[in-house]
């Protein structure tokens, strides 16, 4: 469909979205309040950070939490307007068993987004929707333009903090949901940010 305008379907439910065959291009979408929102392909730094996180967390889970697993771009269906929202974080961790044919990540405990300049508003828009899932304990936002992470953690009363915990370049990300202390510098290995 080179040069042609792609016609997207009107308002969709999650059921419609999951049955939708796509627009005939390689574009990826998530469903936001019944409307398709295009997801730009990640740039090289975004992809490297995402891969570094997947490797570090995946190895930790295999060695220390073999009942848990990490998925890249898992689909999650928030509790907020559940019939109209299907969001896709960069990474998600669940301790629920894998099952064939399921299109949503069951009971995620940790959801991770890599924040790029072009997706900042969409990423922060997703956070309250992720927080609406009762199984989610932590939401991690990792920046792709500087060495910085922001972590939101649900407290013992089930409440979320007003502001995230900020981790800077020399800091450690403490992921209580999976028992991992990850030096932030490891997230940026091989990236241009590690050389700045």
**Domain boundaries along the sequence of the chain:** 41-195
Give the distance, in angstroms, between the CA of residue 185 and the centroid of all CA atoms in the same chain. Answer: 20
Q: Find the DSSP H helices in 85-172.
A: 120-131
Rounding to the nearest 10 degrees, give the CA dihedral for residues 19, 106, 116, 20: 0
pLDDT tens, residue by residue, 72-128:
999 999 998 899 999 999 999 999 999 898 889 999 999 999 998 888 888 999 999
Tell me the CATH number for domain 41-195.
Answer: 3.90.1570.10
Residue 178 has pLDDT above 60, yes or no: yes
Give me the mean pLDDT over the 20-37 stretch: 89
Mean of per-residue pLDDT scores for the chain: 92
Q: If pLDDT is split at 50, 70 and 90, which confidence band does 149 have?
A: very high
């Amino acid at each position: 469909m080179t040069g042609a305008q792609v016609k997207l379907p009107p308002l969709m439910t999650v059921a419609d979205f999951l049955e939708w065959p796509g627009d005939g291009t390689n574009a990826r979408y998530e469903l936001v309040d019944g409307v398709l929102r295009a997801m730009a392909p990640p740039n090289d730094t975004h992809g490297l950070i995402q891969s570094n996180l997947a490797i570090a967390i995946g190895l930790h889970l295999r060695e220390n939490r073999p009942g848990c697993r990490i998925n890249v771009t898992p689909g999650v269906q928030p509790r907020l307007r559940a019939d109209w929202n299907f969001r896709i974080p960069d990474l998600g961790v669940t301790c629920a068993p894998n099952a064939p044919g399921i299109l949503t990540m069951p009971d995620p405990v940790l959801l991770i987004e890599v924040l790029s300049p072009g997706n900042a508003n969409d990423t922060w828009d997703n956070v309250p929707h992720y927080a609406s899932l009762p199984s989610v304990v932590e939401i991690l936002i990792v920046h792709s333009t500087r060495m910085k992470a922001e972590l939101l953690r649900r407290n013992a009363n089930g409440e979320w903090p007003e502001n995230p915990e900020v981790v800077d370049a020399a800091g450690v990300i403490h992921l209580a949901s999976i028992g991992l202390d990850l030096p932030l510098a490891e997230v940026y290995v091989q990236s241009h940010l590690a050389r700045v």
